[in-house]
Amino acid sequence: MSLSVVISAYNEEKKIEECLKSASFADEIILVNNESSDKTAEIARKYTSKIFTRPNKIMLNVNKNLGFSKASGDWIISLDADERISPQLAKEIKSVIKRPSLINGYWMPRKNMIFGKLIQSDLWWPDYQLRLFKKNKGKFPEKHVHEYLKVNGDTEKLKYSLIHLNYSSVDQYLYKMLNIYVPSEVKNRQNTRIEWTDAIRFPVNDFLKTFFLQRGYRDGLHGLVLSLLQAFYMEIVFVKLWEKQGFKEVNTKNFLDDVYKEFKKIKKDFRYWFLTSWIKETKNPLKKIVYRLVRKNKF
């Protein structure tokens, strides 16, 4: 069984070579060059002659699907320029595609490097990605920015991981947030009716989810900062929705009191999640009992 790797890239001269090296075990590499103005295509020519230049689109899935259509392999791997196929994963991939099987696609766990650290909270790990599939059995939807590849038929999970050199700088994080993810999220929620309390609840709920429920606290300061950035992301989403709905004014006679009441609810939520997290993390059975009693008496 032959294998094609399809990479869609835009101005990735700093990352593309290591990506291509990690994919060099494949029978074929296809690069969709999204009108890069740097040396991305020049570097790629050392590894493949199958380079297709297309207009750079926010909806990257269009160009990724085009790359799939150019692949000649029996199996295809969809790879981003900031991703690396580890040697262990390459070996596993070569093994599974040789097996007679009714499986049409495979999910890969993905390790995310953010701000120089391997992030291990539940939001970022194992971060399964459906990337390996039989030709003509999979494609990306072309409606929203962040969508999984869709495969017709059964799928399974692989053991070894992709390496994702995710956000290396705050500027990169903010650029993608403001120019890609926020517009996509706002579009998805354009028919959502918002209330003034969402200006508080949107960011707070996302912080509670990422820092406590998804155990961002396990990554220390990195986890705290990423959770706060996620909260900021949702605040911008709220403001953009508010803008689309005409900046509706809310300024009741008791607005200060209403805001105070909302923050009292938030205080209660934080107390609940701190206690719940302490219950999960402590190995002392007596402390677990005490935390449960405190939580039960307060909530």
DSSP secondary structure string for all residues of 164-194: EE---SHHHHHHHIIIIIHHHHHHHTTT---
Residue-number span of the structural domain to which 114 is assigned: 3-165
Are 120 and 95 in a shared domain?
Answer: yes
Domains contained in the chain, number: 2
Are 238 and 275 in a shared domain?
Answer: yes
User: What's the chain's average pLDDT?
Assistant: 94
**Domain end (from 165, 189, 211):** 165
Are 235 and 283 in a shared domain?
Answer: yes
Are 223 and 148 in a shared domain?
Answer: no
The CATH code of the domain that includes 65 is: 3.90.550.10
At 76-122, the pLDDT tens digits run 999 999 999 999 999 999 999 998 889 999 999 999 999 999 999 99
CA 172 – CA 154 distance, rounded (Å): 36
Are 97 and 229 in a shared domain?
Answer: no
At 17-35, the pLDDT tens digits run 999 999 999 999 999 999 9
Say what the pLDDT of residue 166 is: 94
Say what the pLDDT of residue 141 is: 87
Are 249 and 266 in a shared domain?
Answer: yes
What pTM does this model have? Answer: 0.87
Say what the pLDDT of residue 139 is: 94
**Domain end (from 165, 190, 217):** 165
Low-confidence ranges of the chain (pLDDT < 50): none
Say what the pLDDT of residue 298 is: 65
Say what the pLDDT of residue 297 is: 82
**Domain end (from 135, 165, 195):** 165
Nearest CA-CA partner of 31 in 4, 57, 58: 4
Are 218 and 105 in a shared domain?
Answer: no
Say what the pLDDT of residue 148 is: 82
Say what the pLDDT of residue 146 is: 66
Are 188 and 289 in a shared domain?
Answer: yes
Peptide bond into 126 cis (omega under 30): yes
Are 260 and 147 in a shared domain?
Answer: no
Are 120 and 181 in a shared domain?
Answer: no
Say what the pLDDT of residue 147 is: 74
Burial 87-109 (b: 16+ CB within 10 A, else e): eebbebbeeebeeeeebbbbbbb
Are 203 and 68 in a shared domain?
Answer: no
Which residues is 105 bridged to in the sheet?
Answer: 133, 155
Say what the pLDDT of residue 48 is: 97
CA 66 – CA 57 distance, rounded (Å): 13
Are 47 and 151 in a shared domain?
Answer: yes
Among left, alpha and beta (phi > 0; psi -120 to 50; other), residue 56 is beta
